Amino acid sequence: MDIFSKCYNFKLANSLREMDLFPYFRELQSRQDTEVIMEGKRRIMLGSNNYLGLTTRPQIIEKAKETLDAYGTGCSGSRLLNGTLILHQQFEKEMAEFLHKEDVVTFSTGFQSNLGIISALVGRGDYVICDKENHASIYDGCKLSYGKMLRYNHNDMEGLEKQLQKVPETAGALIVTDGVFSMGGDIANLPEICRLAKRYGARVMVDDAHGLGVIGEGGRGTASYYGLEDQVDVYMGTFSKSLASLGGYMAASAAVCDYVRVSSRPYMFSASIPPACIAVATEALHTMKEHPEIVDRLQEISAYMRSKLLEKGIRIRLSETPIIPIFTYDPIRTLQIQKELYENGVYVNATLPPAVAPGECLLRVSLMATHTEAQIDEAVDIIADVLSHYDLEAPAEIDFDSLL
């Protein structure tokens, strides 16, 4: 059998192209901003994770230019060998201080961070326990480890306890959860997770890719939001959202970080973060620390859009984050709505299985602190007009009230 047969038999993408509903790989012809030029036309960008809007901040762009001149374009080696710059060490020190942890390890991407952290910490005979709506990189990190993965239904604390009860007393256990869930925008029940972890002797890891810069004191993330910084053992985060760059990090105790540095294959055998990227992340961190009002503004504009959508009678999941899901349920209908919004000047992300469960498709709106009320008003009017032509009643098997 030809190993490529699966490729030749894969018809979904071409079928969607033939229907003119393929929503991916749209060409961006301008900077990542609140308004963009995409495929030759102006679109209000409601599909970016550039939460603090820092990708266009002049001093951050200037820092990247200065760093290119000083350090060149790349490191050409892993952190373990010739790829450690003073810039990496500086960021790790400052981020550790910001997050109130002893140490930080940086990875080349956010996805790689979860691969590297989980595969290093979860060994043979250990257990890793995951929320079913965790990010794909967490799942792949679990697969790369030699431990056993157990899952519980989304934010179901009774389910989590049942899984913890399956862990032998002689085995180690790591509970891994998104802090802010990337599709629904809701926040993990971290107080109960930490309580159960303490009761059953487990450790807690929070993926704060969508929490840093979004919630918590000065944007410190989910543990800070709940006042539980001393009870979360490992934070993971990414540069590609609030930090306006590319890379990822782990924050933990010095002993745990040292172990990961010499045990994590995704860390040891990957080239280090390029100089300009680490410099931009550091400058973005400085901006967060010096201007916490940007985080407040993100909360303000997010609340504004939620209120405007609700005024129009549009069903959304209520939360305190800039991720606002608009439920569309059916895959084809979701793609049709996304296309109409795009043609009318609003870019949002169509979210389909496996990113969500079948029958729970949605349009994922995400906001930036730099959006204006006028842009939101324009976008909401377009969204409401497009949605008015569709029947968006939830399927009978979905209890919408449980999503609120």
pLDDT tens digits, one per residue of 139-170:
999 999 999 999 999 999 999 999 999 999 99
> Is the pLDDT assigned to residue 269 strictly greater than 70?
yes
pLDDT at 353: 87
Q: Which of 113, 119, 145, 182 is an active site residue?
A: 182
CA dihedral angle for residue 194, residue 196, residue 201, residue 205, rounded to 10 degrees:
-40
More confident residue, 129 or 357: 129
Q: Are 402 and 155 in contact (CB under 8 A)?
A: no
CA 45 to chain centre: 17
Mean of pLDDT values over 126-135? 97
Q: Which of 88, 101, 241, 371 is an active site residue?
A: 241
Catalytic annotation present for 210? yes
What b/e sequence results for 36-72 when a residue is b if at least 16 CB atoms lie within 10 Å of its CB, and e otherwise?
bebeeeebbbbbbbbbbbbbbbeebbebbeebeeebe
Catalytic annotation present for 88? no
Please give the model's pTM, rounded to 2 decimal places.
0.94
∠ CA 359-365-366 to the nearest 5 degrees? 135
- DSSP state letters, 177-195: EESB-TTT--B--HHHHHH
> Is the pLDDT assigned to residue 400 strictly greater than 90?
no
Q: How confident is the model at residue 403 (pLDDT cuts 50, 70, 90)?
A: very low
pLDDT at 394: 58
Rounded distance between C-alpha atoms, residue 99 and residue 357, angstroms: 33
Q: Which of 210, 245, 272, 371 is an active site residue?
A: 210
Mean of pLDDT values over 219-244? 98
> Is the pLDDT assigned to residue 292 strictly greater than 60?
yes
Domains and CATH numbers, the chain: 11-45+292-403 (3.90.1150.10), 58-290 (3.40.640.10)
Query: Tokens 């790349």, residue?
Result: 74
pLDDT at 404: 38
> Is the pLDDT assigned to residue 182 strictly greater than 90?
yes
Catalytic annotation present for 182? yes
Q: Are 252 and 234 in contact (CB under 8 A)?
A: yes
pLDDT tens digits, one per residue of 306-341:
999 999 999 898 889 999 999 999 999 999 999 999
pLDDT tens digits, one per residue of 114-129:
999 999 999 999 999 9
